[in-house]
């Protein structure tokens, strides 16, 4: 972890998939279902892993150019929607972290590239709405991560400044979004998309300010 100390942090914004909620299983299975329906075989795991965090429309368009975009999205989402509630779980320590942040008076937000319906479904299942002051999904903005629109919109709603805010995520898109917005970027060490990476593995605007190995470590950065 980078030992640079962040001062006067008052706002913490989280990504959803792969950061707060372990949705990896349902995402991978939804992708394999789509590959089998369209191509009659499983997809390459590393290829699927590389799509984590991308807007679904973008991933489907580049992966299955041979079928109409609406068809590939429908196949994926029909499978995903029906299984989502039973195949997700909180990452260990996340609920305790969120409770500690709220108790400490931090402003908190959730900024996700996921659709509103399943985002709310996941938050509701684990009673997480009480921990977030604002929730923004891909349906609330016109430009996806790493464009800073989603994060800047969140900060505006929270009446927060980039210099006193932290964005926590699990993909290069999250880190790029934070860096583009002038917000301290934190990569989670339990990331499926970037498992085992260190700061030296990143370049340019994708270098995270910090990498945390556990939710509790985030408190050391914002405290």
Of 121, 206, 144, 218, the residue nearest 172 (C-alpha): 206
pLDDT digits (tens, 9 = 90+) for 205-214: 999 999 999 9
Look up residue 17 and give its DSSP letter. Answer: B
pLDDT band of residue 223 (cuts 50, 70, 90) is: confident
Task: State the pLDDT at residue 4.
Answer: 46
pLDDT digits (tens, 9 = 90+) for 48-85: 999 999 999 999 999 999 999 999 999 999 999 999 99
Provide the strand spans (E) within the chain.
11-14, 21-22, 89-90, 107-111, 134-136, 165-169, 184-188, 210-212
pLDDT digits (tens, 9 = 90+) for 8-54: 899 999 999 999 999 999 999 999 999 999 999 999 999 999 999 99
Q: Could you tell me what percentage of the chain is helix, strand and coil, using 3-state DSSP and rounding each to the nearest 5?
A: 50, 15, 35
Instruction: Say if residues 129 and 34 touch (Cβ distance below 8 Å).
Output: no
Q: Is 15 a catalytic residue?
A: yes
Q: Given 2, 10, 15, 170, which residue is catalytic?
A: 15
pLDDT digits (tens, 9 = 90+) for 122-154: 999 999 999 999 999 999 999 999 999 999 999
- Within 13 Å of residue 154, how many CA atoms lie on the same side as its CB? 32
Task: State the pLDDT at residue 48.
Answer: 97
pLDDT digits (tens, 9 = 90+) for 156-177: 999 999 999 999 999 999 999 9
Task: State the pLDDT at residue 164.
Answer: 97
Residues in CB range of 193: below 8 A, 6 or more apart:
18, 49, 50, 52, 53, 170, 171, 172
pLDDT band of residue 7 (cuts 50, 70, 90) is: low
Task: State the pLDDT at residue 3.
Answer: 43
Task: State the pLDDT at residue 74.
Answer: 98
100, two tokens = 């500690």
Instruction: Say if residues 155 and 11 touch (Cβ distance below 8 Å).
Output: yes
- Give the separation between CA 5 and CA 113, rounded to whole angstroms: 29
- Give the separation between CA 45 and CA 145, rounded to whole angstroms: 23
Task: State the pLDDT at residue 1.
Answer: 43
pLDDT over 60 at 5, yes or no: no
- CB-count burial class (<10 Å; 0-12, 13-18, 19+) for 193: buried
pLDDT over 70 at 108, yes or no: yes
Task: State the pLDDT at residue 196.
Answer: 87
pTM of the model: 0.93
147, two tokens = 């464009």
């Amino acid at each position: 972890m980078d030992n640079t100390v962040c001062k006067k942090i008052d706002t913490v914004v989280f990504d959803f998939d792969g950061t707060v909620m372990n949705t990896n299983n349902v995402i991978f299975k939804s992708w394999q279902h789509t590959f089998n329906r369209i191509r009659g075989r499983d997809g390459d795991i590393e290829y699927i892993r590389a799509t984590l965090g991308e807007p679904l429309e973008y991933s489907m368009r580049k992966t299955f150019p041979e079928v109409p975009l609406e068809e590939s999205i429908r196949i994926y989402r029909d499978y995903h929607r029906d299984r989502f509630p039973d195949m997700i779980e909180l990452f260990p320590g996340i609920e305790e972290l969120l409770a500690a942040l709220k108790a400490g008076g931090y402003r908190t937000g959730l900024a996700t590239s996921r659709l509103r319906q399943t985002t709310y479904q996941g938050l509701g299942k684990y009673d997480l709405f009480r921990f977030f002051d604002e929730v923004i999904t891909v349906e609330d903005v016109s430009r996806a991560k790493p464009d800073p629109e989603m994060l800047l919109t969140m900060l505006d709603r929270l009446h927060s400044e980039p210099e006193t805010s932290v964005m926590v995520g699990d993909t290069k898109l999250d880190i790029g979004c934070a860096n583009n917005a002038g917000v301290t970027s934190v990569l989670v060490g339990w990331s499926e998309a970037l498992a085992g990476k260190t700061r030296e593995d990143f370049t340019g605007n994708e270098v995270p300010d910090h990498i945390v190995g556990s939710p509790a470590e985030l408190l050391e950065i914002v405290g």
